Structure 1
Amino acid sequence: MFWRIFLLNAAVLVIATVALLLGPVTVSTPVVIREALILGVGLAAMLAANAALLRIGLGPLARLTRTMATTDLLRPGNRLPATGHGRQVRDLITTFNTMLDRLEAERATSAARALSAQEGERHRIAQELHDEIGQTLTAVLLELKRVADHAPSPVREEIRQVQETTRNSLDEIRRIARRLRPGVLEELGLTSALRALVTEFTASGLAVRGRFGTDLPELSREVELVLYRVAQESLTNTARHARAGHVDLSLHRHGQGVELRIRDDGRGLGRAPEGAGIRGMRERALLIGADLAVGPHSGTGTEVRLRVPDPAGKRD
């Protein structure tokens, strides 16, 4: 818009200057070099003044354009001050800020519903895995044991191998059910659930060290679930993609709230775009008004930091 208006005004001024130099109303005929220089300087001054005025007048619109291009609803709070020369420009910026407020509120509401439905579906699947498939495999194990006790010696060894495979499958199903529905979180609290998470990933080959504060404030169930899911997703991403050997997981008081921090010594994020896992963590953080930061830390590796200013899980 700036260049369109500027070039249009410049074209008009150039045409007027040329007409003054070459037309019958020229100051001198033929053209005097001195007068041409004076007119050229005048033209340049007019163009400079025109450009400065347009830049000042359209500056708020340029800032608004940059804000619109960089707005991310997963990083809320980015607002443009309603300033500028002219009521229409200020009204436009105010309308844009109001629209952002509405979009962020609607996204937070829809994300809360989606995540609530997701947790409910996880709970249902975990229950079915435990109650139906788990019990079925347990019955199969008992039947295999009965058959093995009466089977001939050559066949008995093969049945034992089938038993072992079935037992490993049962253990895997129970592990999946625990990850879908962290029963230890509901029964023993966040610190115990995080300790169990540390033990689980350490047993899978990733050296995880957990450190937990003893003066943590009282946390709501929603905050505890978000903290647990962020820690779980971070450790899962580290195990799958980071090629890390060691991970530090800590949960401590931070002001009136808490801070969860996960650091690894892997290859880092590089220039890879954020995947669904990180976007999911950001959405969960928004539900409790928390601040999530994902990036490199000193040395190598990646750091995930989640700060919860309100441990009760209330949003303004």
Structure 2
Amino acid sequence: MSEATWREQFGRTLEEHLSRGEEAGLLSAYELGREALGSGLGVLDVAGFVHGALLDACASAPGDSLRAVKAAENFLLECLSPFEMAYRGVREANTALRGLNDLLEDQTRRISHELHDQAGQLLASVYLALDELGRELSPDAAARLERVKGLLDSIEEQLRRLSHELRPTILDDLGLGPALEFLAEGVSARNGLPITVEGMPEERLPARVETVLYRIVQEALNNVSKHAEASSVKLRVRAEERAIRCSIRDDGVGFDVPTVMGRGGAEGIGLIGIRERLAPLRGTLDINSTPGGGTELVVTIPRESCPQATGAKAGRAAEAQSLIPTGKRASAGEAGGMVR
């Protein structure tokens, strides 16, 4: 519907409201507001159309202007009622989504701890059984048994890394910078993809923000590994005055953003999940990509949406720090280096 048509429709509906009385006219105003909302008009658009219709009504009947202005107040409120209901629905959905994300994080933390503790105990029992068995074997068989222990060592290391990537204690204890260093190192080790982590903020960010950014980077690196055919990736987090920004840039094959988004590609490359994580914090996701020119994801979370930061949790700091290989241990404020 064109702007002229909308203007005409608002003018006609207001005129009917002024002539027919409150009940019928307000119902028409509400239905017009629903139609405007469904067509993509904004609150300011509706207010502008009502204002124009009121000016026309006052101009056509100057002696009745005061009554028209008073009646137009309720008319405008009814026009905007669908917008208010939609806003409340979005707010309630965001609250529910935030609760769901918190629940998922709690479940992930529980699974991570179970995987770490239970698997560790089982492997310890296996080591003891193998040691006992080794004392009864010939030297040749004992050598083969040592190779089996080497495989178990690899399994234990992979389980430990998987556990901490599911819910890294390093994120709780040391903050986003060291956690992203640890994550990047794990992805690099598995895929042979050099990842540079740089520009980490000196301050500890609110726990919810750190968790959201960690999960987004985790999903983005997973996408790069699967789809981008990249030879390098750069991660950067900046704490600005009004917003927290995180960028993930790769030098892969890239894609045409409008084409991929238009055919529902957002789900296939994990963008729906990223946007759902950002919604409760009123964050945004921008995608910059061209075929052959790589891809950059830019996440922005406004400061006003960030809950107050709290101090780092104590108790597991030594364990978390020990997970970072020597030479890569850093405080949350130190800039990262190349992870290979």
TM over 0.5: yes
In the superposition, relative to structure 1, how do residues 63 and 106 fare at CA in structure 2: closer, same or farther (>3 Å)? closer
Report whether the alignment pairs 1:274 with 2:225. Answer: no
CA contact (8 A) 1:130 1:174 kept: yes
2:197 to 186, 203, 210: 210
Q: Which runs of 5+ in 1 are unaligned?
A: 3-50, 72-77
- 1:80–1:157: structure 2 CA closer, same or farther, 3 Å change rule? farther
> Does the C-alpha gap of structure 1 residues 151 and 53 become closer, same or farther in structure 2, counting only changes over 3 Å?
closer
What is the identity, as a one-letter code, of the residue corresponding to 1:300?
A: G
**C-alpha contact (below 8 Å) 1:256/1:310 kept by paired residues:** yes
Is 1:300 matched with 2:293? yes
The 1:79–1:129 alpha-carbon spacing in structure 2 relative to 1, beyond 3 Å, is farther
TM, length-normalised to structure 2: 0.65
Distance 1:102 1:155, change over 3 A: same
Q: Which residue of 2 aligns with 1:14?
A: none
- Map Cα deviations across residues 80-114 of structure 1 (whole Å, 9 max, x no partner): 63243487985664132112201211110110111
Call closer, same or farther: CA 1:55–1:69 in 2, change over 3 Å: closer
1:309 aligned residue: 302
Q: Which residue of 1 aligns with 2:19?
A: none
Contact 1:67 1:80 in 2 (8 A): no
Letter in structure 2 aligned against 1:57: E
Q: Deviations over 1:40-76 (max 9, x none)?
A: xxxxxxxxxxx998564248999976863679xxxxx
- Secondary structure of the residue aligned to 1:266 is coil
Identify the residue that residue 68 of structure 1 maps to in structure 2: 38
Q: Residue 275 of structure 1 aligns to a residue in which SS? A: helix
In structure 2, the CA distance between the partners of 1:150 and 1:181, relative to structure 1 (3 Å rule), is: same
Change (3 A) 1:67 1:112: same
When residues 70 and 132 of structure 1 are mapped into structure 2, their CA distance, relative to the original with a 3 A threshold, is farther
The one of 110, 116, 121 equivalent to 2:96 is: 110
> 1:146: Cα distance to partner?
3.2
- Between the aligned partners of 2:97 and 2:189, the Cα distance in structure 1 is 33
Structure 1 contact 207–247 (Cα < 8 Å) conserved = yes
Q: Are 1:231 and 2:234 matched, yes or no? A: no
3-state secondary structure, aligned to 1:307? strand
Secondary structure (helix, strand or coil) at the match of 1:82 reads helix
Post-superposition CA distance 1:135-174 (Å, at most 9, x none):
2012212322332343124433443343233222222211
CA RMSD, Structure 1 to Structure 2 (Å): 3.4
What is the TM-score with the length of structure 1 in the denominator? 0.70
> Is contact 1:292–1:307 with CA below 8 Å preserved after alignment?
yes
Deviation at residue 299 of structure 1 after TM alignment: 6.3
Change (3 A) 1:184 1:53: closer
- Residue 197 of structure 1 pairs with residue 190 of structure 2: no
Residue 206 (structure 1) shift: 1.1
Q: Is the 8 A contact 1:64 1:80 kept in 2?
A: no
1:251 to 227, 237, 243: 237
- Which one of 111, 115, 119 corresponds to residue 133 of structure 1? 119
Distance 1:311 1:127 in 2: 33
Distance 2:88 2:237 in 1: 33
Higher relative contact order (CA 8 A, sep 6+): 2
Question: How far 1:265 sits from its partner (Å)?
Answer: 1.2
Residues 247/127 of structure 1: CA separation in 2 closer, same or farther (3 Å cut): same
State the aligned residue count.
259
- Deviation string, structure 1 residues 225-253 (Cα, Å, up to 9, x no partner): 11211111111111122221110101123
Unaligned runs of 5+ in 2: 12-30, 55-71, 309-340
Find the counterpart in structure 1 of residue 45 from structure 2: 81
Residue identity in the other structure for 1:206 = L
Partner of 1:95: 81
C-alpha distance 63-162 of structure 1, shift in aligned 2 (>3 A)? farther
Contact kept in structure 1, 2:234 and 2:248, CA below 8 Å: yes
Partner in structure 2 of residue 57 of structure 1: 8
Aligned equivalents of 1:52, 1:229: Cα separation in 2? 43
1:180 to partner: Cα distance: 1.1
- Greater C-alpha radius of gyration: 1
Offset, 1:117: 0.6
